[in-house]
Amino acid sequence: TIAQALGDEYIVKTGEELADEESQSLKEGLAFFNNILLGFAAVALFVGVFLILNTFSIIVAQRTRELALMRAVGASRRQIVAAVLTEAVIIGLLAAVLGLGAGIGVGAALAAIFSAFSDLELAAIGVPLTAVISAFVVGLLVTIVAALLPALRASRIPPIAAMQDVATPDRPLTRITVAGALVSAAGVTMLGIGLFGDAGSHTLWLILGGVLISFIGIALLTPLISKPTVALLGRLFSWSVPGKLGRLNSGRNPRRTAITAAALMVGIALVTGVTVILDSAKRSLAALIEDNVKAELVISGLQTGPRQPTFDPAVLDKAAELPGVAAVTGLYVDFALVDDERTYVFAPTDLAGFREIFLLKMTTGAVDQLDAGQLLVDDTTAQERGLTVGSTVQVQLARGERTTYTVAGIYEESDLYDGYLLPPQAATNFTVPQPVQGFLQLAPGATVDQVQPQVDALLADSPEVAVADRAAFLEEQTGLMDQLLVMIQILLALAILIAVLGIVNTLALSVLERTRELGLLRAIGLSRAATMRMITVEAVVISVFGALLGVVVGSGLGAAVVRALRDQGIRHLVLPWSQMVVFIGLAALVGVIAAVLPAIRAARLNVLGAIAHE
């Protein structure tokens, strides 16, 4: 057979086996992406809980007399709870049907777009049974959980309330504040253990659980914070009567304001936190390259496939001969088995150039060049493995046989490189025996403007290779972070959109609840325009309050993660002040937009009909 003829050095597979492997690999990659999307969907559902909770709370408050009358004619507390939860079940089922239909439509549209812009033809759209079941289970569960507290509150309405016509009294905030403090403490504790402790395989779940519980705790504390904060923000608009009325209205019900603002807080907090982490990572990477890489020009291959791009090492030999170039080194990288442990290995094309450009510091041993069978190892790995100069290790590269290497020296670990450094001859047995990057250090007096055109001319016959200066190289390295940030912001926009709908919904129900009050205001001289301004001020104050809360919480969360990642090289904390200001400004704009429909409805109320409204 072919396998026997080629020997053990090669792997022979049938076309069907290769197709199955590629299909499985694609499924694994899509599963990871699917989990990410599910995470953002969970955030959207979490924000949706605030919207549903607020809606049922307002509806129960508006129907106080009706529910009290039901109690007066014999309905039990359990029946009241069942009635409210039945409404929640119906709404949940309707939402599940609409959500499932919208999801199928979006999926079909995305598949059509993907097929139109790629050579891959997708199979017919299929809807798995698990997706249908999940849609109904999640829709019902989320709605019922969100409606449970309002349902219990409705069951406590006394029958005597049917004979009263008074506003619902404000409940003290003591219990919700204590609960919020306890829940927040639990969330922060989980976060601390996950970020700074040693939780092993449970680390990710501790962090995610800590974030979720912290958000719930902060949401419970928000009513306590909302009253003074909303009053302070509202003073910006108190120069006019509509502005003063809007300020008072936005602070008259701390719980309602808090729930509405908390929904917006979650989305903005996550966006702010991710921005802090990625901006800090970019600044840290820039500082790392600036302090540890003394190369003015970088040569690299262009990305043309799934593997890391490489180029012909002969390019580096030619570059070393150019006038104005002082040192050149390239890097081969791969994974190997060292004493049967899979680890990262790399090999510079020229060790002397590597030491000069990357400031390699030897702690033990002095080696200018490595001979075949020699290697260097960083001090941390050497200490962990008990290696000293003269120790031997067994190395199995991607090709060839297992080889014994002798430790010729130990170098100081860097945030840029660590592990086993092999001689350039070993790269012939790497998976891809070509360098992934080349670094050029210029001679004293030489400038990038002088040397880069010469390197470009040298690479004229090598279209797969490009050269960049330090600024362009850094931009290339951080470009992925910028793309990731944009993608996360787009996905989190769904949660923010739901929060905006929550503001619209709260204002609309509030206008309905205050119909008589609005009619009286119109009757004593408040114009339609002033009524609209009053509603708009309410929306803007709530939106800005939610944004401020989100920016503060997100900054704290991001700073904690950056601090926890200090040992991974993220040593600079960057707070994106300009973006925070933009978030708050956009929140104010969102408030104006969210107020349009409720404000128009309030302005169009019939004055006499509104006064007679019960």
* Measured distance CA(104)–CA(123) in Å, rounded: 15
Q: Which of 9-23, 419-433, 513-527 has the lowest mean pLDDT?
A: 9-23
pLDDT of 235-275, one tens digit each? 777 777 777 777 777 767 777 787 888 888 888 888 888 88
Q: How confident is the model at residue 157 (pLDDT cuts 50, 70, 90)?
A: confident
- Rounded average pLDDT over 301-311: 65
Query: By CB neighbour count within 10 A (0-12 exposed, 13-18 middle, 19+ buried), where does 483 fall?
Result: exposed
Which of 49-63, 394-408, 554-568 has the highest mean predicted lDDT (pLDDT)?
394-408
Query: Which residues, in sequence order, are CB contacts of 186 under 8 Å at separation 6+?
Result: 213, 217
Question: 310: how many CB neighbours lie within 10 A of its CB?
Answer: 20
Task: Determine whether 186 is exposed, middle or buried from the number of CB atoms within 10 Å of its CB (0-12, 13-18, 19+).
Answer: middle
The mean per-residue pLDDT over the stretch 551-558 comes to 88
Tens digit of pLDDT for each residue in 465-510?
A: 788 888 888 888 777 788 888 888 787 787 788 888 888 887 887 7
Distance of alpha carbon 279 from alpha carbon 478, whole angstroms: 9
* Cβ atoms 430, 266 nearer than 8 A: no
For the chain, which residues make up each domain, given as ranges?
Answer: 303-463
Q: Is the pLDDT of residue 306 over 60?
A: no
Q: What stretches of 157-234 adopt beta strand conformation (E)?
A: none
Residue range 192-204, pLDDT digits in tens: 887 777 766 677 6
Task: Name the least confident of 121-135, 162-176, 211-225.
Answer: 162-176
**DSSP characters for 535-564?**
HHHHHHHHHHHHHHHHHHHHHHHHHHHHHH
Per the DSSP assignment, residues forming a β-bridge with 467 are: 299
> Measured between alpha carbons, how far is 499 from 172 in angstroms, rounded to an integer?
26
> Is 338 in a helix, a strand, or coil?
strand
pLDDT number for residue 421: 92
The encoded tokens of residue 378 equal: 């960083």
Q: What is the pLDDT of residue 200?
A: 67
| pLDDT at residue 32 greater than cutoff 70 | no
Closest CA to 60 of 144, 152, 154, 145: 154
> Once rounded to an integer, what is the mean pLDDT over residues 389-393?
89
- What is the per-residue DSSP string for 265-304? HHHHHHHHHHHHHHHHHHHHHHHHHHHH---SEEEEEPP-
Percent of the chain surpassing pLDDT 70: 89
Query: How far, CA to CA in Å, does 213 sit from each of 190, 217, 323?
Result: 9, 6, 62
Q: Distance between CA 368 and CA 362 in Å, rounded? A: 11
pLDDT surpassing 60 at residue 316 = yes
**Banded pLDDT at 610 (limits 50, 70, 90):** low
437-442 and 325-338: which strand pairing? Answer: antiparallel
How confident is the model over 515-527, as pLDDT tens digits?
Answer: 777 788 778 887 8
The stretch 130-156 carries a mean pLDDT of 84
Of 494 and 348, which is predicted with more confidence? 348
* Gap between the Cα atoms of 312 and 436, Å rounded: 9
